[in-house]
């Protein structure tokens, strides 16, 4: 899968504004919301703010303005900001409780002689664990003042900090934390946001806390329960590019394989910090000798064949230089079904195919291809890394059935999907831990992204609470696909034109604009937005190059999905 850091850099280069914020009384729970993959490198660390402490004789208004301005520096646990607080309140205020990202200007108003209100509109919130949640809403925060000697100081304030959207982008960086699929075969990302300079310690602490609520039952950590940074360190020390992570004694309970996976989780999660090239792991000061997992290690960035997988002029296979390279004997069996859509497994040995007779599972090792799902109105099927084929009728969003390798059906519990909606597309992520479902509803397109909960035999049994559940503008939902490990591309028709948006799980949203043609489908590849392919009304393959959609002039019946 494409690197989420690349997508982030692109967003920031385009000047996409993010809004974040949080304080006492500000929600820090619930599903994390939508957006685009954003570079997790702490490259913004070279942008430094040096706020000043309170001036002698400052008014209450000056003190409040200075306090908020000092939120730009987390140095010393927000030491400068704490200078604006009374001596009694300094140890009580918790700046890490949340971040509210402010859009537009704030307004100050006097409530009484010792109280002022700070009002603003927040467009997003980051909670204490770094999880991002979209949502525009107004806030009014109350601050109380007390005279300390001859100077005014803040004696009561909401927990957390407030930053303008532009400032937030400069001093916070997105960092994917990596957990493991239930079978330890794939790394599963969860995007978090942390301030530059403190990112390494906060990344490790968040990783040790385990998967978030929305990923429970779908992704796992191999750190033994209770493992924390050791009391002697309390932080991650970065020295000459080496992140030194000293863990509490609970980590000694991990076996050899789990220690390798622990090291992998740390290494991949800390890759987002540009100053770190290697991780050294120890327990209570004693280094752990951990062998590398080698080529069998779970991957954070699984790639697919860069060539388009297509059905064209009665042939199925990879298209290049005017020819379709068949996958023998799979291609012939797929063609025989007169296919309408297909998904190819990662090892290219199996395909889930939609045809007029329903959904079939086609295998290299088996000649028979009788449909496993013959319900009317089926949409294009998906597959996961455990070999399950996902199928659902467009008009029955709560009738998802997964079929195992023998063709046996397993109904899936999918609470929360509106019964009066139409399913435009369903696609399982390449790590097999999450699913993206695009719906057409009476109020417009709606995107739902949720974790896949499995039983102890790896059978998908239900969907977890959504990380993304958002309705957005458009007349008709057409298709959605995973653009990379964190980002989903949606294709909708609005005002007679096709437009594409990118939604990042735990991040931001980005528009890729309208297409010169009405498109029928969209398929992900490698390199995020650069790997997207759409099928136009003219049957040509369209790709996103630079900042616009371009036609390849290559005409096909459909573009298949690669696992």
* Same domain? 480 vs 376: yes
| Integer angstrom CA distances of residue 351 from 475, 514, 531 | 32, 31, 21
- Do 167 and 70 contact (CB within 8 A), yes or no? no
Q: Find how far residue 205's CA is from the centre of its chain.
A: 19
* Same domain? 318 vs 430: yes
Instruction: Specify if 301 maps to a domain.
Output: no
Closest CA to 22 of 89, 96, 81: 96
* Same domain? 410 vs 291: no
SS (H, E, C) 206-242: HHHCCCCHHHCCCEECCCCCCCCECCCCCCCEEECCE
Instruction: Specify if 37 maps to a domain.
Output: yes
Q: Any residues with CB less than 8 A from the CB of 239 and at least 6 apart, and which? A: none
* Same domain? 117 vs 238: no
Instruction: Specify if 421 maps to a domain.
Output: yes
382 is written with which tokens? 């998906």
Closest CA to 145 of 56, 52, 64: 64
Pairing relation of β-strands 161-164 and 98-112?
parallel
* Same domain? 177 vs 198: yes
Total domains in the chain come to 3
Span 405-434, pLDDT tens digits: 999 999 999 877 899 999 999 999 999 999
Of 171, 187, 221, the one marking the end of a domain is: 171
Q: Which domain holds residue 106?
A: 4-171
Q: How far apart are the C-alpha atoms of 558 and 555, rounded to whole Å?
A: 9
- Do 388 and 403 contact (CB within 8 A), yes or no? yes
Q: What is the CATH number of the domain that holds 354?
A: 2.130.10.10
Q: Could you report how far apart the first and last alpha carbons of the chain are, in Å?
A: 10
* Same domain? 552 vs 406: yes
36 is written with which tokens? 């685009």
Alpha-carbon dihedral sign for residues 429, 300, 9, 450: positive
* Same domain? 420 vs 489: yes
The pLDDT profile of the chain, 563 residues, written as one tens digit per residue, is 344 444 443 433 333 333 333 333 333 233 333 332 223 233 334 467 899 999 999 999 999 999 999 999 988 889 999 999 999 999 999 999 999 999 999 999 999 999 999 999 999 999 999 999 988 899 999 999 999 999 999 999 999 999 999 999 999 999 999 999 989 999 999 999 998 878 899 999 999 999 999 999 999 999 999 999 998 778 999 999 999 999 999 999 999 999 999 999 999 999 999 899 999 999 999 999 999 898 889 988 889 999 999 999 999 999 999 999 999 999 999 999 999 999 999 999 999 999 999 999 999 988 877 899 999 999 999 999 899 999 999 999 999 999 999 999 999 998 778 999 999 999 999 999 999 999 999 999 999 999 999 999 999 999 999 999 999 988 899 999 999 999 999 999 999 999 999 999 999 899 999 999 999 999 999 989 999 999 999 999 999 998 899 999 999 999 999 99
DSSP 158-205: -SSEEEEHHHHHHHEEEEEEEEEETTSSBEEEEEEEEETTSHHHHHHH
Three-state DSSP state, 77: helix
* Same domain? 80 vs 101: yes
Alpha-carbon dihedral sign for residues 276, 281, 287, 289: negative
CA atoms within 13 A on the CB side of 312: 21
Q: Find how far residue 500's CA is from the centre of its chain.
A: 18
Q: How far apart are the C-alpha atoms of 341 and 84, rounded to whole Å?
A: 62
Q: Find how far residue 53's CA is from the centre of its chain.
A: 37
* Same domain? 166 vs 194: no
Q: What dihedral angle (degrees, nearest 10) is formed by the CA atoms of 190, 195, 200, 202? A: -70
């Amino acid at each position: 899968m494409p690197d989420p850091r690349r997508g982030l850099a692109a967003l920031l280069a385009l000047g996409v504004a993010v809004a974040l914020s949080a304080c006492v009384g500000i929600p820090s729970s619930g599903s994390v919301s939508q957006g685009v993959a954003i570079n997790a490198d702490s490259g913004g660390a070279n942008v430094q703010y040096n706020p000043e402490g309170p001036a002698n004789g400052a008014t209450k208004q000056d003190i409040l303005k200075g306090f908020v301005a000092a939120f730009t520096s987390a140095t010393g646990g927000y030491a400068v900001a704490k200078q604006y607080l009374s001596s009694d309140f300094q140890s009580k205020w918790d700046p890490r409780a949340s971040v509210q990202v402010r859009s537009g200007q704030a307004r100050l108003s006097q409530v009484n002689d010792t109280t002022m209100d700070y009002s603003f509109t927040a467009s997003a919130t980051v909670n204490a664990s770094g999880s991002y949640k979209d949502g525009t809403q107004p806030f009014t925060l109350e601050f109380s003042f007390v005279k300390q000697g001859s100077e005014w100081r803040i004696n009561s304030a909401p927990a957390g900090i407030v930053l303008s959207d532009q400032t937030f982008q400069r001093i916070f960086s997105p960092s994917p934390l990596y957990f493991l699929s239930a079978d330890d075969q794939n790394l599963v990302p969860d995007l978090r946001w942390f301030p530059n300079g403190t990112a390494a310690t906060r990344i490790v602490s968040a990783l040790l806390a385990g998967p978030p609520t929305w990923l429970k039952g779908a992704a796992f950590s191999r750190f033994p329960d209770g493992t924390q940074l050791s009391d002697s360190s309390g932080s991650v020390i970065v020295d000459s590019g080496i992140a030194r992570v000293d863990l509490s004694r609970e980590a000694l309970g991990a076996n050899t394989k789990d220690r390798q996976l622990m090291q992998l989780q740390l290494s991949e999660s800390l890759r987002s910090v540009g100053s770190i090239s290697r991780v050294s792991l120890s327990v209570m000061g004693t280094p752990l000798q951990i062998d590398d997992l080698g080529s069998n290690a779970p991957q954070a960035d699984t790639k697919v064949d860069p060539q388009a997988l297509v059905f064209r002029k009665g042939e199925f296979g990879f298209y290049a230089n005017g020819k379709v390279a068949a996958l023998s004997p799979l291609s012939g069996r797929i063609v025989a079904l007169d296919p309408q859509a297909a998904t190819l497994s990662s090892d290219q040995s199996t395909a889930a195919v939609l045809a007029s007779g329903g959904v079939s599972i086609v295998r290299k090792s088996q000649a028979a291809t009788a449909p496993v799902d013959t319900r009317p109105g089926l949409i294009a099927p998906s597959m996961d890394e455990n070999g399950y084929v996902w199928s659902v009728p467009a008009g029955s969003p709560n009738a998802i059935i997964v079929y195992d390798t023998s063709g046996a059906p397993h109904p899936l519990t999918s609470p929360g999907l509106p019964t009066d909606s139409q399913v435009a597309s369903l696609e399982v992520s390449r790590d097999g831990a999450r699913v993206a479902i695009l719906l057409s509803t009476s109020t417009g397109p709606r995107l739902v992204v949720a974790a896949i909960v499995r039983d102890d035999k790896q059978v998908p049994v239900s969907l977890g609470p959504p990380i993304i559940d958002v309705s957005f503008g458009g007349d008709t939902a057409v298709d959605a696909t995973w653009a990379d490990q964190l980002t989903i591309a949606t294709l909708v028709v609005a005002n007679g034109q096709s437009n594409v948006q990118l939604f990042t799980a735990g991040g931001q949203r980005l528009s890729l604009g309208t297409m010169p043609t009405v498109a029928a489908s969209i398929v992900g590849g490698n390199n995020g937005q650069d790997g997207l392919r759409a099928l136009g009304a003219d049957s040509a393959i369209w790709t996103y190059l630079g900042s616009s959609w371009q036609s390849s002039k290559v005409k096909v019946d459909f573009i298949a999905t690669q696992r």
